[in-house]
Structure 1
Amino acid sequence: MSTMNDVALRAGVSLKTVSRVVNGEPSVSEQTRQKVKAAIAELDFRPNSVARNLRTGRIDVVGLVLPQLSQPYFSSLAEAVMREAERHGLTVLIELTDGDAEAEMALVREHGPHLGGLVMYPVGLSDTQARTVAGIVPTVFMSERAYDAPVDRVAMANREGVRALVGHMVSLGYTRIAALGADHSDLPERSAAHLRLDGYRDGLRDAGLPCLPELVIDVHPQWSRQLGAAGVRRLIEQGTSFDAVVAFADALALGALHAVQEAGLRIPAEVAVAGFDDTDEAGYSYPSLTSVAPGTAQIAREALALLSDRMNDAAAQPAERLVVADFELMVRESTLGGMATWGGA
């Protein structure tokens, strides 16, 4: 493993100069800085974050708190956050909560004081708990729900994305479109499930179509392939007529693909299926899956930018900032068959 001394020898500068470059100090000429950076790259030198923290007083370890990693979207999000954190010179510790508010708070209370910052996908937090979190550690929420707390947020366009998806289905002639992934339990009002259901209703309203209760399939507590398949099987067994499925997550949509084909129905000739998240699996399923790409890389990029601001100078930042990521409709075979050339990969 390369050391700072190795970098100094390669660049032909002093150890102190290398230290100044590593710590981002301004008192180094641009030419020298580039020489040191080139030596760092050649030697694959990785500064010791613990030693640097002791020198600078800044903690370069941040927490990433997610409900789970078993759902493809969260694993993709975790990877994107870790890559972006590396660009900021930050190390990421991942913790899982299963969406439980008490678990979320326990993690923050235990680890928050020892972290430089926190990126969190909250599920069960109340406004009071969100304020407590913000008081413990600089925090950015990846959340659609607005909290009465001084916390920056990065959100995805849940409602708008599903609305566009329903509009796509209607444009192809589908009229009995099932919503797979609703949750009428005690989730917060602006949870992803509720917002995506609102988007489904918006899309039907745009097309002048009724929202039929028998086509809204509850799936909880978690979105998975198994529950997606089970929900569509219920529709089929009940004899409910439907010609399309808008699933609120790719995991649900992949389960729906299985159940529809299991019943001997052709996709998309008899039933079209689409999802949300545009995970890697969407492009490689059979047939390939139309899905909403929610801007995962942008979400990670904006979250780390906001967090870095908070960590560097929290007092200078506005009390609360919101960034909504862009989305894109990725149209594939599950809605267009072999003619999937419009609007996506």
Structure 2
Amino acid sequence: MSTMHDVAQRAGVSLKTVSRVVNGEPNVSEQTRQKVDAAIAELDFRPNSVARNLRTGRIDLVGLALPHLSQPYFSSLAEEIMREAERLGLTVLIELTEGDAEAELALVREHGPHLGGLLMYPVGLSDAQALTVARTVPTVFISERAYDAPVDRVAMANREGVRALVGHMVSLGYTRIAALGADHTGRPERAAAHLRLEGYRDGLRDAGLPYLPDLVLEVGTPHWNRQEGATGMRRLIQAGTPFDAVVAFADALALGALHALQEAGVRVPAEVAVAGFDDTDDARYAHPSLTSIAPGRAQIAREALALLNDRMNGTVERESGRLVVADHQLTVRESTLGGTAAWGGA
């Protein structure tokens, strides 16, 4: 049975574009719509939610609200959710919010009455706003932030994952381990950065290593991209502070760091080891390939849709809140294997 993911690949478009065409939304060019329609016909793709809705009275259209798809983590997560939704017979409508609270709330106001349920990666919502969303439409948040409200949430093992990365570095003999991606603003929407910094501290503490502020590079969560990773790494190199390893809080940051190190003539991993978080496809095919934490995207998709299905079926108490933390896995690759000599800028 063909899936929406298969249609996207055949038509050479994004999952969001296929979602728009299938759901009859505007803002799709006629040429693109024809390509998608042709792929649907070739693959004999048949969304079957309409007939089921008429039979059961349940709306099987699920919204997926993400800040953006430009970061590999979000695009990969969207693919996993689409696959799992297809398996469950659900149709997914993807919407982008740019991490803006008003956009997140506007999405609920506009689409909420037409949705059977909503999966949202919220960035700007307050505790009260999150509760309002959950009371408007059955909702599961995919979020690192803990809300002071009875809402369902699926999260990554942020702290535990980075702790494992530091432990891996220490086991290989690295002792001056930089952290790339920290945030000290205390803003709740940057919970992932705060948790990963705590994991970094935990790993150092486990190994009896000191926390050295000069090795902690601040990057605001919205800017976890390659450019910010490269900029942060150049800053550390120019400071002349000796370091022998880098734990980046996202693969995109790590890939930027790799670029800056290679640009400076620093050999990875012979002089500096590098690791990331997310285990994206880019991590697998980087040169050298990147050690990373796999945050369990497939499990996140399964658990989030299972929780949402309960909400849509009315089998859980309205004012209850549930939390699922996905398993993580350390995937070791070339970027951390092969050298333990500290590099001091010489």
| Band of TM-score, shorter chain | 0.7 to 0.9
- Alpha-carbon displacement from aligned partner over 1:130-167 (angstroms, at most 9, x marks no partner): 11001100001111222122221111100000001001
Q: For residue 14 of structure 1, what is the aligned residue in structure 2?
A: none
2:250 partner amino acid: A
SS at 2:314's partner residue? helix
- The whole-number CA distance in structure 2 between the counterparts of 1:120 and 1:264 is 42
- The whole-number CA distance in structure 2 between the counterparts of 1:316 and 1:131 is 14
Q: CA deviation at 1:241?
A: 1.4
Q: CA deviation at 1:52?
A: 3.4
Q: For residue 156 of structure 1, what is the aligned residue in structure 2?
A: 156
Q: Which protein has the larger Cα radius of gyration, Structure 1 or Structure 2? A: 1
**Percent of pairs identical after alignment?**
82
Q: For residue 185 of structure 2, what is the aligned residue in structure 1?
A: 185
Q: For residue 207 of structure 2, what is the aligned residue in structure 1?
A: 207
- Alpha-carbon displacement from aligned partner over 1:96-142 (angstroms, at most 9, x marks no partner): 11212222111112111210000111112111001100110000111
Q: For residues 186 and 206 of structure 1, do their structure 2 counterparts lie closer, same or farther at Cα, with a shift above 3 Å needed?
A: closer
SS at 1:191's partner residue? helix
C-alpha RMSD over aligned residues: 1.8
2:239 partner amino acid: Q
- The whole-number CA distance in structure 2 between the counterparts of 1:66 and 1:183 is 21
Q: For residue 223 of structure 1, what is the aligned residue in structure 2?
A: 224
1:253 partner amino acid: A
1:296 partner amino acid: R
Q: For residue 333 of structure 1, what is the aligned residue in structure 2?
A: 334
- The whole-number CA distance in structure 1 between the counterparts of 2:96 and 2:186 is 21
SS at 2:148's partner residue? coil
- The whole-number CA distance in structure 1 between the counterparts of 2:272 and 2:202 is 21
Q: For residue 267 of structure 2, what is the aligned residue in structure 1?
A: 266
Q: CA deviation at 1:186?
A: 4.9
Q: For residue 82 of structure 1, what is the aligned residue in structure 2?
A: 82
Q: For residues 45 and 198 of structure 1, do their structure 2 counterparts lie closer, same or farther at Cα, with a shift above 3 Å needed?
A: closer
Q: CA deviation at 1:50?
A: 3.0
Q: For residue 133 of structure 2, what is the aligned residue in structure 1?
A: 133
Matched-pair contact (CA < 8 Å) for 2:152–2:307: yes
Q: For residue 234 of structure 1, what is the aligned residue in structure 2?
A: 235
SS at 1:265's partner residue? coil
Q: For residues 45 and 212 of structure 1, do their structure 2 counterparts lie closer, same or farther at Cα, with a shift above 3 Å needed?
A: closer
1:232 partner amino acid: M
Q: CA deviation at 1:314?
A: 4.2
Q: CA deviation at 1:315?
A: 4.5
Q: CA deviation at 1:318?
A: 7.6
- The whole-number CA distance in structure 2 between the counterparts of 1:47 and 1:204 is 51
- The whole-number CA distance in structure 1 between the counterparts of 2:144 and 2:238 is 35
- The whole-number CA distance in structure 2 between the counterparts of 1:268 and 1:47 is 48
Question: Residues 11-160 of structure 1: matches in 2 within 5 Å?
Answer: 46=46, 48-160=48-160
- Which has the higher mean CA deviation after the structures are superposed, 186-195 or 303-312? 186-195
- Which has the higher mean CA deviation after the structures are superposed, 89-98 or 192-201? 89-98
Matched-pair contact (CA < 8 Å) for 2:162–2:199: yes
SS at 1:103's partner residue? helix
Q: CA deviation at 1:189?
A: 7.3
Matched-pair contact (CA < 8 Å) for 1:134–1:149: no
Ranges in structure 2 where 5+ consecutive residues have no aligned partner = 1-42, 340-346
1:336 partner amino acid: L
Q: CA deviation at 1:56?
A: 2.6
- The whole-number CA distance in structure 2 between the counterparts of 1:45 and 1:264 is 51
- The whole-number CA distance in structure 2 between the counterparts of 1:286 and 1:195 is 28
SS at 2:119's partner residue? strand
Q: CA deviation at 1:47?
A: 5.0
- The whole-number CA distance in structure 1 between the counterparts of 2:45 and 2:242 is 61
Q: For residue 287 of structure 2, what is the aligned residue in structure 1?
A: 286
- The whole-number CA distance in structure 2 between the counterparts of 1:336 and 1:56 is 55
TM-score, normalised by the number of residues in structure 2: 0.82
- The whole-number CA distance in structure 1 between the counterparts of 2:270 and 2:47 is 57
Matched-pair contact (CA < 8 Å) for 1:64–1:119: yes
- Alpha-carbon displacement from aligned partner over 1:227-260 (angstroms, at most 9, x marks no partner): 1001000011121211110000000000011111
Q: CA deviation at 1:190?
A: 6.8
The structure 1 segments of at least 4 consecutive aligned residues displaced by more than 3 Å after TM superposition are 314-318
1:335 partner amino acid: T
SS at 1:266's partner residue? coil
2:122 partner amino acid: P
Q: For residues 45 and 329 of structure 1, do their structure 2 counterparts lie closer, same or farther at Cα, with a shift above 3 Å needed?
A: closer
Matched-pair contact (CA < 8 Å) for 2:186–2:194: no
Matched-pair contact (CA < 8 Å) for 2:120–2:142: yes
- The whole-number CA distance in structure 2 between the counterparts of 1:71 and 1:110 is 26
SS at 2:337's partner residue? helix
- Alpha-carbon displacement from aligned partner over 1:62-115 (angstroms, at most 9, x marks no partner): 111111111001100000001001111111111111212222111112111210
1:121 partner amino acid: Y
